[in-house]
Structure 1
Amino acid sequence: MRLLLSLLPLLLPLWLLLSATAVAALPAASASEQPVPQPVRYGVLASFPPFQIWPQDGVPGGADLEIVGEMARAAGLVLQPVRYTDYRQLEADLAAGRIQLASSMARSAERELQLRFTPPYAQFQLALLTRAEQPSGALLPDLAGRSIAVVNGYASQAQADRLFPLASRVVVGSPREGIEAVRTGRADTLLESLPVLVDIIEREQIRGLSVARRIDAPSGRLHLAVPATQPALAQRLAEAVRNYPPLRVDSLVEAWSVRAPDSRPQALQLSPEDTAQLAAWPAPVVGLVGRDAPFASLNAEGQPEGLSVDMLRGVLQRLGKAPRAWLALTPEQVPAALAAGRVDVLVGADEGAESASQLRFVGPFIEYPTVLIGRPESGAFDLVQMYGRRLALPPGSAARPYVESRYPGVRIVDCPALEACLAAVRQDEADATLADVVSTMVAMARQPRADLQVIGAEAQLRRFHSLALPERHAAMVPLFKRALDVAIDQDMPQLKNRWFSRSVQADVHKALLRRYGPWAAAVLALLGALWWLHSRRLWAEVRRTQAAQQAAERVGTEKARLAAFLAHEVRNSLHSVIAGAELAQETQGAAAANTASAPAPSNAARLAEAARSTLRLLNNLIDRDRLDAGRLRLHTEPTRLMPLLQAVAREMAPAAELAGLQLRLQGPQPDPRRQVDALRLQQVLRNLLSNAVKYGAATPGTAPAEVELAVLPADPLAPGTVVMEVRDRGRGVAPADVPGLFEPYGAAHRDTASAGLGLPISRELMRLMGGELTLQARPGGGTVVRISLQAEPLPEAPAPAPVRALHVLVVEDAEVLALLLARAFEQRGHRVEVAATVAQARLRLAAGGIDLLLSDLHLPDGSGSELLAWARAELPAPAPWLLAMTADIDTEAAALEGALVRAVLQKTGDAAALAERALREVSA
């Protein structure tokens, strides 16, 4: 490999020359046909083996160069490597866009703010590196007082912050510098990628170090990264990553890695030096710390037993040693025993900062999580919720420094051991205690405590079991580590099965069963009988409730159907009344034109206004229900505002005349087409003008009685904002009463008949259209209601082609409205026939010759939608245009548009506008 790297500077220019010659020899046509690869500046670290290697004055190499190069070719890219010696500079240049690609990047929330990542193309473990004489791999928050080297800017730095929040830091610039910091004692541990550490250690033959632990973490997933401003490049590379074979990644990483010897051999191999060292070491005295079943405790005969005891025996056996004696110690007796040299090995000792100066820990060989134990009613599930509460902990607990530093609001109560801590919680001297899950289960099995339970867990804290040697035996630590690795691989499954599968305190359980079993059986039988009786009554009540609920739902459904039917029929009747009144007005207007006197408001005008007022109230009630249920939908179309406003003004003019008011209209200038829901906007304007007419009678001393509908000039900076105002000179509204006007069923003037629906519904309709409605007092008396909505001007559409004379079939059971529709179509040059039922319409359609079918959806002998579906499926070509009309465009009616008919039109009482809308749909 070194020979190949030394020859690369000589071979690379030759390869480039041959490539240039070959490219020059290709025909010009082929060069023009092949796509030109996109050049991409690719950041490469000078020393990040085995992934990225670029010696000074050398050529780049490493597994990433081959992997990314093959992915780039698949994505149509050509790499331009850029050498970096500082990782943070590489990341900064990538975020700024000075380079376009980097590899071996770990994904994090902070980086995602500036970079885009591909899916991971490789997954590797992290490793905790220590010196061989301090091989502890316990993931304690403070690392038992030891320091950790972190590579500045690397993803492993975030993992170190998460796993070891209380450990002191030694910041280094590269993994190689971190290894050197551990080797020289400047730092005690290093957390970094396992392949990187193994490659550097084996390549440079660095001795005296040990991989104490391997960790699976998200930072072990390697991604390609590009600047956030390059989404297309990220997409191309992501596709290349998904198509890249994973086995190819493994083979390339293995090819560029220096193979490390197996760290866990099947059997312990001792060198002559190891044998001599063991021969000089006397048989050890083992200290048994505490009483921690099933790990390390004394049985009834006073002999040591437990998983930790058996693990130590296995380690000593592989070293050719046996315990000389066992010495039972309490945690408080350990320092004195170590100082006197009375023990040579400890089992059951907890690793912590206070013991780091006296002991060297080897392991851990087993670990498990820590749980929070308390009373069921405590309401705390983790340490965050223990703020201001009492937590019972032994003085030597490994969790104590973590709690004191990270959760200072938790009050710690001293207790000598777990049993005492549990007693403190039961006696309300503490609110909870922390203990490992195994010790907790053993304690609960030994003495059941119904008033205590596991109420939460603390993921950051774990219990570790290790072996410990005094400082005077530090030279034996590497041998113990090697023997422990073999013992873990070969003995741990059997030890777990032996110590975790057998019953704990089986004799206690049997005694409890014999004593309380009969009573418990009797109580259970009684409870079972009571439950059976209760269940029968409960099921009977459930069946009665379900039957009543189903009956209520049927009644509700029938009521809703009846309400919909009545609403449709009342609307049809009101439309007929309005249409008839307008027809009578036209007749009276023609007669009045022959007289010289000014026409007075006619009974027909009063009748039309009364019908419109009733129709507005009905529409508001129905829309109130739909808004509450979220079923109201908008139907927008390109519309000019002036015709829309003129139609509303014509409709409201008779009401204003009856009230002695003058209605003035100020339209938009200019009036481009805008995408709006014309019917809903007209509904809002009708409500506002109706209020203005109702309350707009001039007060004494004010300006002449008039109502204004004005469109304000457009703002050049916001041409899409349309603002309209409805102004009156009536009695006005006090500022304190304005909020109540927008509450459903609220009204400012209780002496005037009002349902209190118009303003709340109008504001909700405007908000549904993306606008707003406000009300304020008008200077000089009266009110001003302003509405605004967003409707961008649309480009002018070409003039529609003139519609040829059509043969129209109107299917409508309201006789007056059908007559006015027929008249409106005839005035526009079309021939019209009218049918009042589905049967009549089918007969006429079957005869042929109909160009446009306009049908109501609710007919006396059937559904208009069924008639339209029949016409669509059965009529021969050329089929007529199909349009539907209804007084109530609900969700079901709107669903017909596009699927069955060209459009669904809403009946408003203005037959001419309805006919004009139908002809626009046909000509569109």
Structure 2
Amino acid sequence: MRTKANPAPEYVLVVDDEPSLRTLLGFIVQRVGAEPLLAHDAASARKLAEKHSFACALLDKNMPGESGLEFLKWLRKAQPDCNALMVTAYGNVDSVVEALRLGAFDYVLKPFEVDALEHRIKLALEQWRMRQEHERMQAMLVQADRLASLGLLAAGVVHEVNTPLAYILSNLDWLDEELPALSEALKRREPANPEVEKLAARMQGVQSTLRDIRQGAERVRHIARDVKAFARDSQDESILVDLREVLDAALKMALVHIRYRARVVRDYQDVPMVMANEARLAQVFLNLVVNAAQSLPEDGAEHAIRVRLWTGPNGEACAEVSDTGTGIAPEHMPHLFEPFFTTKRSGEGTGLGLFICKSIIDGMEGTITVESQPGAGTTFRLSLPPHGRDAHGARPLEQASAAAS
């Protein structure tokens, strides 16, 4: 299973005081696709362990100074994930039992058959990979559970915010109507009174402040609406969705990633409504926009993220997210939608984002494709079938313009 674009080398520690045998063991390790790190005694092996993590270790049992069994005991504490194989010409039942008790993965007697030892190293490496993948999946499950809890929390917060927000906006509406009426009433009652004129002027200032407050409250309402769209239960049924609204919501949610990195260029043409799960579709756009922002180099140049909407030749709804970033290497292109494939540094990506995007779009009977050139940016393009009532009337914008002229 591919987990990274450039996976870290799998190091195998080889500790043996005999140079020729140490070289042979290193050659066998290379044959199985791992990288050998050679040491002639336990002391030099400890120094290697300070710099590298080992997937596997081949340890000579009898060495000058610290024995292989003593070093195995230390290694199991220092690097418990390492699968160690004892390789020795002095084997008996007691030493085998002791080695396995100390945590050795296997016990190999000299002289050994190269193919047999190679097979055992492969088994040790495969178990190590499975253990690493299990730990990775566990961490991802914890993260997924945390995000699910965050989604529920966001939905609850939005619900709690909407109630007082509606009260605030309704009272602002009342004040917006009442203050001008009150000001006019005062002028009619005492038209020549300077104090009334001053009071009316002050009331106009209050009206201006109230308009500013209303704009702020409206912005909060829009934010709450956008968060609600993303936090909605993923099992919600499909609804009629306007791609403009969903894409705009995704851009707002991604603002923290876009700000100071690029300007957003919108090109929204006529596009039909689609029947889709709004939250999942928003998740797709958010992922594409965030990926676009993260691909932009911090080189001081002016970069842009371009989002387009248009109607395809067969009436389908088309969307595009493109950037002026670093692009994608040709050898990575065939693997972009594979699960756990990522070109990001360790800890920055799970390798599931684009895989999930494709799964969502496939589930909506749509398509998603990608074009990229290293150094010239990347474009993700998706199309979705139009809603039934729009399917017959939808035409490309160029055709519609030609028909109207």
- TM-score, with normalisation over the residues of structure 2? 0.39
Larger Rg: 1 or 2?
1
Query: Which structure has the highest helix share of the two?
Result: 2
Query: Which structure has the highest strand share of the two?
Result: 1
